[in-house]
Structure 1
């Protein structure tokens, strides 16, 4: 996949893309060719991404307490997570495209303020319906912030080593935010109460919004017609929402998920027809159809899906088998976070020396090897073995994430970086939803098959539970290996062509 990160080395962009790139570059650089406050800009963008990643995991830790206080049913509790995932994943591409058309900094600030204010109101929610609706609103705000932040980063740092280093830091922050959420969620829930898992977003979001106008210059594509493709926006947003809903509810039984899946496919087909005929498409198909972009996003679905599955299974193991508290579970995940940060800081340099193919495949295989270590875990007493496996997984996962991020944004003209960021974040959300649903179903299915007929899953013995966890982890190994093979084979096909 080395061609992916280096594909634009042969020459500069031409036509409108070159004009847009030059205009954006001139707006964000000094006469000496360097952007002012580059480190502060990166810090601010990473702070926003940290908040989004933090919120994804910090809420999970507080779910049992939220269920008790707001009287959620067991089946209804999952909507605290699903409502966020559906709106976040569903509106990412629209959010990215709007930021390209109407200003990335503007949308970045609007999204930050909205996310902070909705988080404040969520922290004072009085019943289950209020909280679910506010979580949906949080996801919508996050769908504006995430692609705008990524496109601001890619248009602020020139393609090459400087952008690669910035994306490395960005990827490390993503994983660090996820792990920090697990740890901080345990602390806030134990020391204060569950409402603080939402309140913590308020100073971060508002602080970043106040600093953005001082540190970041406005950036947008200079397209002559900024008319939004409404039919395209409606169909692709509806398609992704339906897909995420189907993946989020597939383990609940019934046929609701299947109907949602069919609706997603029909809407996506309609979207393709609309985009082919639209004079100003929401998502230019010639951009999305690039083999590089498709490869990077496909690998991203598999990479994120397997990682989310691993984290889900480990959480169940640590709390259900080892008897860990949420705080102890979070501290255990801190090992993964530490190696993830190291990988993010070094992935750009490693890629420069070994090439992006070796870094990507090596990272995916490291994730697979670490997961193999976890898949042979005993019923109890495996904490040191788990820590080693998690350390390997953390380093490998983020190494691969950095290369995928570089690949998914390289060669895309500046006026379409918001779109590229929206696609990358959408593939992450689809991967997360698919991973959570698939690995939960595998673990439950295997464990249920080992129990005596009529025995509820809640009464499963540790050996049966661990057997289900092992099978799920083995599938995660296979998925990681498949992702690495996709990267290698498609690289060879492109080189041969």
Structure 2
């Protein structure tokens, strides 16, 4: 049985804040999720205008999106580790203010190379905000029910930004200027950083790691491991994004893939040589209840990105719809996503396993509808609209309750690192999934009428159906429902599996040292 932690190191008992301040903090932290997603989705509408204005070719315009995704994914682990070792308030404010300043500068750029550089730099700034925001949310809302609601709202902000970015970006492009896509982010990010300085309490981020002497903190960062994994991620994502444009048989792509995979293997070997408190990803992280299976489910979850990317191009390039018309037809995704974001209390009634499986089932139904009937404009209402609606409910259930389940199983002291790992899985999975779908679409179109026929896109949706089915089977087989009744671990040395107690009644010591059962 574990002994109570010293008061100064007790990560699960932060000073209580008034409800009004908690709500303001929730809005500020969720805006970071909104900004990061918006800054990418809004550019989907601006890409054609950027191509014309800056004289970009297709490969260069792809990197306007890919440059952000590459650096964002690669620097998440660094950000998560910094948020755990140092005060997450400092990391969050630094990331939000940098994002605002870099986006302001990007709005004044009219040349290809500088805009790609600024997009890569904004990816780094955005990566600093997500793990730190998650860390702060877990600390601000220690109660399981409040935490579930907060994480549900945090997840929904990304979904809302995904579709609202497309619509708002289309409005800027059509009626004002694509420069405002960048400046809008500045108008949100800088006030968030400024308000955060005054309203985020500094002591909320104090943990066992952050209370160590300043000279000793850097030793726990595992700079060697972080550098190895960051470079591996950069090479891997660069190879994946390049493969869809220059070809998968390109020597450059093949070499980068092999080197990046070897570096990832080397990273995990390096981690086994370090003490647990100095590893970038502590070994016990993989043994927290359901962490690994939820990570796999997150890695394979790219349904929204696949659907939005496919239909944005289809509607504009094949059907001839305007950018604004295409954006408006995407609105059901945002409305349904927002409505479904309030389902977090369901995790108090049902196991997250069954809620996530329900979401995956809905995604499979929606994917079949898109595979069968998305190829004609007149099929929007009988096929595409129902698929958007059903699939959006499914993905929101998946996102919301995967987040609730994964943060329920880890100690709050490691929320930053876990948030970084999970976000990296989402980004990597999305990049690989879209690249695979692009390859399938291209190969099918080569023998079935070209890009103006729907055969290639239908094939990608059947592939997507197989991916969702794999998620369903993985969760059905490997998710441990008994972990839903165990208390959240209070310290890194206590994986959930190592805490033994009766499900009906905790002894007195557990009640005083562990947070309330969810």
For the criterion TM > 0.5, the same-fold answer is yes
2:346 matched to which residue of 1?
350
Contact 1:155 1:417 in 2 (8 A): no
1:50 deviation in Å?
0.8
CA, structure 1 residues 213+263, in 2 after alignment: closer, same or farther (shift >3 Å)? same
Answer yes or no: is the 8 Å Cα contact 2:45–2:166 preserved in 1.
yes
Pairwise CA distance, 1:257: 2.2
Report if aligned partners of 1:351, 1:358 keep a CA contact under 8 Å in 2: no
Q: Which of 222, 237, 247 pairs up with 2:208?
A: 222
Please, what is the CA RMSD of the aligned residues? Answer: 2.0
**Structure 1 residue 447: Cα displacement:** 0.9
Kindly provide the CA deviation profile for residues 204-254 of structure 1, in whole angstroms up to 9, marking residues without a partner as x: 000100111232223143223412211111111111112211221221211
Work out the CA distance in 1 between the residues paired with 2:350 and 2:269: 42
Aligned counterpart, 2:461:
473
Specify the alignment match of 1:375 in structure 2: 371
* 1:44-83 map, 5 Å: 44-83=28-67
Give the aligned partner of residue 181 of structure 2: 197
Deviation (angstroms), 1:24: 5.7
Q: Distance in 1 between matches of 2:155 and 2:198?
A: 24
- Alignment partner of 2:447: what SS? helix
1:246-290 deviations in Å (ceiling 9; x for gaps):
221221211322222111112112212222222412221221344
Matches of 2:12 and 2:351 in 1, distance apart?
29
C-alpha deviations, 1:348-403, integer Å up to 9, x for none? Answer: 12333332111100011111111111111143311213111101111110111011
CA distance in 1, matches of 2:40, 2:352: 29
Q: Structure 1 pair 15/322, CA: closer, same or farther in 2 (3 Å)?
A: farther
How big is the shift at 1:492? Answer: 5.6
- SS of the residue aligned with 1:450? coil
- Give the Å deviation of 1:292: 1.8
1:319 maps to: 316
1:21 Cα shift? Answer: 6.6
- In the alignment, is the contact (CA less than 8 A) between 1:21 and 1:413 conserved in 2? no
Question: 474, 486, 490: which is aligned to 1:486?
Answer: 474
Residue 108 of structure 1: CA displacement? 0.3
Following the alignment from structure 1 to structure 2, what is the Cα–Cα distance between the partners of residues 99 and 374? 41
How far apart in 1 are the matches of 2:11 and 2:42?
A: 40
SS class of match (1:338): helix
Alignment partners' CA distance in 1, 2:420 and 2:99 = 17
Tell me if structure 2 keeps the 8 A contact 1:35–1:156: no
SS of the residue corresponding to residue 402 of structure 1 reads: helix
Do structure 1's residue 422 and structure 2's residue 420 form an aligned pair? yes
Alignment partner for residue 87 of structure 2, among 103, 111, 119? 103
SS of residue matched to 1:26: coil
Q: 1:337 aligns with which of 334, 337, 346?
A: 334
Determine whether 1:138 maps to 2:136: no
| Cα distance between partner residues in 1 of 2:336 and 2:85 | 38
Instruction: Give secondary structure in 2 for the equivalent of 1:222.
Output: coil
Give 5+ residue unaligned stretches, structure 2: 484-496, 498-518
Structure 1 residue 36 displacement after superposition:
5.6
Note the alpha carbon deviations across 1:46-67, whole angstroms, 9 max, x for none: 1111111111200121011101
2:508 is matched with: none
Equivalent of residue 233 in structure 1, options 226, 235, 238: 226
SS at match of 2:217: coil
Match of 2:387 among 386, 389, 402: 389
Q: Does 1:113 align with 2:97?
A: yes
In 2, the alpha carbon distance for the partners of 1:436 and 1:261 equals: 16
Structure 2 counterpart of 1:448: 446
Indicate whether 1:163 and 2:110 are aligned: no
Which deviates more from structure 2 when the two are superposed, residues 106-115 or residues 67-76? 67-76
- 3-state SS, counterpart of residue 321 of structure 2: coil
- Give distance in 1, aligned partners of 2:409 and 2:25: 22
Q: Deviations over 1:139-159 (max 9, x none)?
A: 000110111111111221125
The number of equivalent residue pairs is 468
TM-score by length of 1: 0.90
Distance 1:243-1:291 versus aligned 2 partners, 3 A rule: farther
How has the CA–CA distance of structure 1 residues 45 and 362 changed in structure 2, closer, same or farther, with 3 Å as cutoff? same
- TM-score normalised by structure 2 residue count: 0.86
CA contact under 8 A between 1:20 and 1:414: conserved in structure 2? no
CA distance in 1 between counterparts of 2:101 and 2:161 reads 20
- Tell me by how many angstroms 1:311 deviates: 1.9
Question: In structure 1, what is the Cα distance between the partners aligned to 2:226 and 2:8?
Answer: 23
| Superposed displacement of residue 175, structure 1 | 0.3
Please say if 1:90 is aligned against 2:90: no
Verify the 8 A CA contact 2:14 2:140 in the aligned structure 1: no
Aligned counterpart, 1:454: none
